[in-house]
Structure 1
Amino acid sequence: MTRFRTSACTSIMVGKGATIDGSTFISRNEDRIKAIEPKRFLVRPAVHDRHATYVSAYNNLTVPLPENGLRYTATPSVDQSAGPNEEDGFNSANVGESATESVYANDRVLAYDPFIKNGLAEDSMTTLVLPYIHSAREGVQRLGKLVAKYGSAEGNGVQFIDQNEVWYMEIATGHHWVAVRIPDDCYAVAANQIAIEQIDFNDPANYMCSKNIRQFVSEHHLNPDKDQWNFRHIFGTNTKQDHHYNTPRVWFAQRYLSPQASANQTPESPNLPFIRKPERQISVEDIQYLLKSHYNETKYDPLGEGSAHDKRVYRSIALSRTAQSHILQMRNNVDPKYAAIQWIEFGVPTFCAYTPFFANADDTDVSYRQVPAKMKLKSAYWLNEALAMVVESHYREFAEDDQAFQKGLNEWSRRKIAAVDAKAQQLTGTQLTTYLTGQNHKIAKHYHKKTKQLLFKLLTAGTELSKLTFKMDPNL
């Protein structure tokens, strides 16, 4: 099957030893082919003694479902005609998944292991994995078994997180994949290019792979290196498109988090390392900054002062066609019962705020759960899209107010999370879940109120910026 891929994302992962508070993180911008693709935020209930079969609306993949499944959060597309596309979330075992980062293999490897028409695709990966796993490692294992049995319909990178580990898995061909555990003191950035490098087959604690992958590579003479087994070199690409569409995003992120180590790198450097150590401890605000970024303070910024060529030569991390952005944070400095936070941003990340939601909840706010077909400001998705369009339309005039708005909500969210943590210590079981669900509603309403206030302020200010103005010259 030939599929015109609609997803072209950027992923950032951070180990617990590299973060300012000991959290593990996975995150991603979900980018689509069009500017408007409405998204929802839902809680899927746990299931017991179920007898059902999953059939993908996208490619007819058919998989018997386990009888029991955990409760989990998800951000599916409103339009379900191409499958659920649930994308990301936490389950009730505090395990998170983000699926997927589109990746592309070279023609050599695809010649011998092509994609499977009715195999596992992006639309199904969260639905078929997240409700059934109890650790990040188990996520890789379950997804690997599904690929072995049904094959893969496309190339994908998938992130998994729990309280201790972060794993990144790349499915490159119809049946072959590798996965690496991100070291605790490191971060990793993936941008639509096969990223995983050397694999240590003697270290199963930190690497996993498909069965017989070494035999496959050897049998078909696919390894270009004499002295190493480098997954990127064997399965990946290194093209002009990569140098303009993919590697510049990794360059910018590494430039921000590891400025000294990356000093000699350029946006088109072909061998940027996948895993790096940061030169300072990473916060959730750092991840937000990168997911919102557009080559800020460089000549390549589309919103900056560079030449027309420089401003359009590289694809930035944030785009107008980002449908939603998410940061999954598993904290280690509080009780696990309320440690998981899913930060969600609908619309263009550059101009909008990330809203924090406690994952131990059984419902989501109506502003995130219901999305009307046409723009209505009661919807979080449509409200953020409206704000982004207004800010960008007069960016020089509105950027300062927009940045102050985002900064203010980040400050408020940290205080709110601390207050909820203090109360949550006293609660357990359904009482705790009910409390966190209620607090999520309050958080959503506060963000909604502040976003509308800014939107109306900018709309009012914008009336003074019309080009249809005229002042009589007294000398006429």
Structure 2
Amino acid sequence: MRKTECTTILVGKKASIDGTIIIARNEDYHDAINLKKFVVHEDKPNGSTYESDNTKVKVKLPKGAMRYTAIPSDDKNEPGQYAEAGFNELGVAVSSTESLYGNERVLALDPLVLDGIAEDAINDLVTPYAKSARDGIKFLGELIKKYGSAEGNGILFADKDEAWYMEIPTGHHWVAVRIPDDCYAVAPNHVCIEQIDFNDKENYMWSEGMEEFVKENNLNPDFEGFNFRKVFGTYRELDRVYNTPRAWYAHKLLSSCDLGPTCGDIPFIKKATRKISVEDCAKVLGSHYNETEFDPIGWQGTEQEKKRFRCISLSRTAHSHILQVYPDLDEKLRGVTWLSFGTTAFNPYVPFFNYVEDTPKEYRTVPEKMDIDNAYWLAKVFAYYAEEHYKLFNRDTHEFLQRMAIYGRQRVMEIQNGAKGLDDKKLMKYLTEENQKTATYFIEETKKQLQDYATRALFTSKLTFQMDKNL
């Protein structure tokens, strides 16, 4: 059973530039290739039984499963769906998971349940049933209570009113926090949620008996308060190399951070000092300590400094998503999935609507062998050239991503305007066709840029010499 190692951003509606609610995450894999696709699942009104290919947990699901989108893996050598992120037909968004780790004290008392609920199953279990962000948390909490959690996970939820983040560090205990409307949050693979107010049920949710569990077992290291990170989380050397530097850099890009990259107390939630856009989230998720000595492909720093910290954007990023919720729109038009396959530093985010008959043909399947007519493989090949010849193509890549971001934003506005007044049947057909047009444009433009890079790269071979033109 694998654990993906991700970076998460959540943005409240008063912290965003356009009043939308945003949850976003990179899915980072342990290998360079993890085949991904973008699909839509039909509703299942009569209920069903879900069985995990990994943990073998069997979950009898209730009636009333809604239609929803997903971004699953399709790797025959590694079992599990890993649906990762999507919207249901009510416009509720779920993203799972941000892998995290509980400490020895809490795991000794509430160990993980190896045949319980894990990342491979969460989105497929929860998204079809979540009527709101809170409802999704409650639904997953009941599953964890009954079946246990097989691993430490963080889950993102959003609806038309609010964004929530849930952390499950042990077999049965969890907590969830509402992101204040005027704030944003960053999570980098460790327990992040801080102070919990057990008198405030509007902004916090938690597992049954968690407060008593901590008190009875003397797990709280603080004299006052209840800091979930300090009670359940880790403060290891690995955190200071792998996790906290990402939070430090993300905060530097989104607001500010006076603390150092190895500080274990970098805040999870911060009040926004400026309004945050989808493009800001894309910049964070595509970053690699740009313009610092820690950038592994930059111009500054020693070789040791360049390799010191794990950066946000990686060559082994399987995909990235920015799920954007428009509170004032109809529920079937409310959600936009900005989807990027491969290395986020070099590949654009493509906007898709979710109330559709099917997803674009370049996205709904992924072949085992390389095929640049497929969205996933095209992104992987494009990123290879952009990174391999970074100093040669860096400016071109920046301009390409800017053009694609402009086009993507234009498409969202065009499609939303064109959808006005359509009934459900016509709306689904319209959004399906418009998604395909969007996908086709991004595929064609990326191919053109790749063709340019591949041609120019031919002139960079080291197997050359100054030739006599008369020979």
Q: Common fold, TM-score beyond 0.5?
A: yes
Change (3 A) 1:18 1:397: same
1:33 matches 2:30: yes
Aligned partner of 1:433 in structure 2 is 428
Aligned partner of 2:278 in structure 1 is 284
Aligned residue for 1:18, secondary structure, equals coil
Aligned residue for 1:48, secondary structure, equals coil
1:402 matches 2:397: yes
Q: Whole-Å Cα distance in 1 between the matches of residues 436 and 253 of structure 2?
A: 34
Aligned residue for 2:453, secondary structure, equals helix
Q: Whole-Å Cα distance in 1 between the matches of residues 56 and 330 of structure 2?
A: 41
* Amino acid in structure 1 at the alignment position of 2:185: A
Aligned partner of 1:104 in structure 2 is 101
Aligned partner of 2:465 in structure 1 is 470
Aligned residue for 2:55, secondary structure, equals coil
Q: Percent identity?
A: 48
**Aligned-pair CA distance for 1:334:** 3.9
1:355 matches 2:339: no
Aligned partner of 2:248 in structure 1 is 251
Alignment of 1:220-259 (within 5 A): 220-259=217-256
Aligned partner of 2:325 in structure 1 is 330
Aligned partner of 1:78 in structure 2 is 74
Q: CA-to-partner distance for each residue in 1:363-389, whole Å, 9 max, x for gaps? A: 101110111110001110000000000
**Aligned-pair CA distance for 1:337:** 3.3
1:377 matches 2:372: yes
Aligned partner of 1:270 in structure 2 is 264
**Aligned-pair CA distance for 1:467:** 1.1
Aligned partner of 2:294 in structure 1 is 300
Aligned residue for 2:5, secondary structure, equals coil
Q: Whole-Å Cα distance in 1 between the matches of residues 202 and 111 of structure 2?
A: 29
Aligned partner of 2:307 in structure 1 is 312
Q: Whole-Å Cα distance in 1 between the matches of residues 203 and 454 of structure 2?
A: 52
Q: Whole-Å Cα distance in 2 between the matches of residues 337 and 265 of structure 1?
A: 42
* Amino acid in structure 1 at the alignment position of 2:123: T
Bigger Cα displacement from structure 2, 336-345 vs 281-290: 336-345
**Aligned-pair CA distance for 1:333:** 4.9
Q: Give yes or no for contact 2:91–2:333 (8 Å, CA) kept in 1.
A: no
Q: Whole-Å Cα distance in 1 between the matches of residues 411 and 220 of structure 2?
A: 52
Aligned partner of 1:59 in structure 2 is 55
Q: Whole-Å Cα distance in 1 between the matches of residues 354 and 278 of structure 2?
A: 16
**Aligned-pair CA distance for 1:277:** 1.1
Q: Give yes or no for contact 1:335–1:425 (8 Å, CA) kept in 2.
A: no
* Amino acid in structure 2 at the alignment position of 1:350: A
How many residues are matched? 467
Q: Which 4+ stretches in 1 moved above 6 angstroms?
A: none
Aligned partner of 1:461 in structure 2 is 456
Q: Whole-Å Cα distance in 1 between the matches of residues 414 and 80 of structure 2?
A: 39
Aligned partner of 1:197 in structure 2 is 194
Aligned partner of 1:447 in structure 2 is 442
Q: Give yes or no for contact 1:70–1:131 (8 Å, CA) kept in 2.
A: yes
Q: CA-to-partner distance for each residue in 1:1-29, whole Å, 9 max, x for gaps? A: xx5x4311000000000000000000100
Q: Give yes or no for contact 2:151–2:170 (8 Å, CA) kept in 1.
A: yes
**Aligned-pair CA distance for 1:473:** 7.6
Unaligned runs of 5+ in 2: none
1:213 matches 2:207: no
**Aligned-pair CA distance for 1:472:** 4.0
Aligned residue for 1:143, secondary structure, equals helix
**Aligned-pair CA distance for 1:463:** 1.1
Structure 1 length-normalised TM: 0.96
Q: CA-to-partner distance for each residue in 1:57-111, whole Å, 9 max, x for gaps? A: 1011011022221000000000265221111000001000000000101000000
Q: What is the root-mean-square deviation of aligned Cα atoms in Å?
A: 1.2
Q: Give yes or no for contact 1:21–1:333 (8 Å, CA) kept in 2.
A: no
Change (3 A) 1:473 1:309: farther
Q: Give yes or no for contact 2:53–2:80 (8 Å, CA) kept in 1.
A: yes
Q: Give yes or no for contact 2:90–2:331 (8 Å, CA) kept in 1.
A: no
* Amino acid in structure 1 at the alignment position of 2:70: A
1:152 matches 2:149: yes
Structure 2 length-normalised TM: 0.97
Aligned residue for 1:11, secondary structure, equals strand
1:185 matches 2:179: no
Q: Give yes or no for contact 1:22–1:333 (8 Å, CA) kept in 2.
A: no
Aligned partner of 1:20 in structure 2 is 17
1:417 matches 2:412: yes
Q: Whole-Å Cα distance in 2 between the matches of residues 66 and 457 of structure 1?
A: 52
* Amino acid in structure 2 at the alignment position of 1:61: V
Q: Whole-Å Cα distance in 2 between the matches of residues 329 and 401 of structure 1?
A: 28
Q: CA-to-partner distance for each residue in 1:225-246, whole Å, 9 max, x for gaps? A: 1111110000001111100100
Q: Whole-Å Cα distance in 2 between the matches of residues 333 and 159 of structure 1?
A: 21
Bigger Cα displacement from structure 2, 358-367 vs 318-327: 358-367
